Amino acid sequence: MKKTATRLADGRELIYYDARDDAVRDAVDPRPLDPIATRSEIRHDRLLGDDVAIASHRQARTYHPPADQCPLCPSRPGRPSEIPAPDYDVVVFENRFPSLAGDSGRCEVVCFTSDHDASFADLTADQAGLVLDAWTDRTAELAHHPSVEQVFCFENRGKEIGVTLGHPHGQIYGYPFVTPRTRLMLRSLAGHRERTGRNLFDDVVADELADGRRVVLDGEHWTAFVPYAAHWPYEVHLYPKRRVPDLPALDEAARTEFPQIYLELLKRFDRIFGEGEPPTPYVAGWHQAPYRLADRGEFALHLELFTIRRTSGKLKFLAGSESGMNVFINDVPPEAAAERLREVASK
Active-site residue identified among 57, 64, 116, 169: 169
Is the CB of residue 172 less than 8 Å from the CB of residue 138? yes
Q: Which residue, among 72, 75, 70, has the nearest Cα to 87 in the 3D structure? A: 75
For the question of residue 287 being annotated catalytic, the response is: no
User: What one-character-per-residue DSSP string does 153-188 give?
Assistant: EEEEESTTTT----SSEEEEEEESS--HHHHHHHHH
Q: Which residue, among 70, 83, 114, 105, has the nearest Cα to 13 in the 3D structure? A: 83
Is the CB of residue 277 less than 8 Å from the CB of residue 289? no
The phi-psi region of residue 288 (left if phi > 0; otherwise alpha if psi is between -120 and 50; otherwise beta) is beta
Give the separation between CA 296 and CA 249, rounded to whole angstroms.
Answer: 11
Q: Which residue, among 7, 58, 66, 15, has the nearest Cα to 31 in the 3D structure? A: 7
Cβ-based neighbour number of residue 210 at 10 Å? 8
Task: Please report how many Cα atoms fall inside a 13 Å half-sphere around the Cα of residue 26, on the Cβ side.
Answer: 2
Give the SS3 label for residue 37: coil
Q: Is 337 exposed, middle or buried (0-12, 13-18, 19+ CB in 10 A)?
A: buried
- The catalytic residue positions are 169
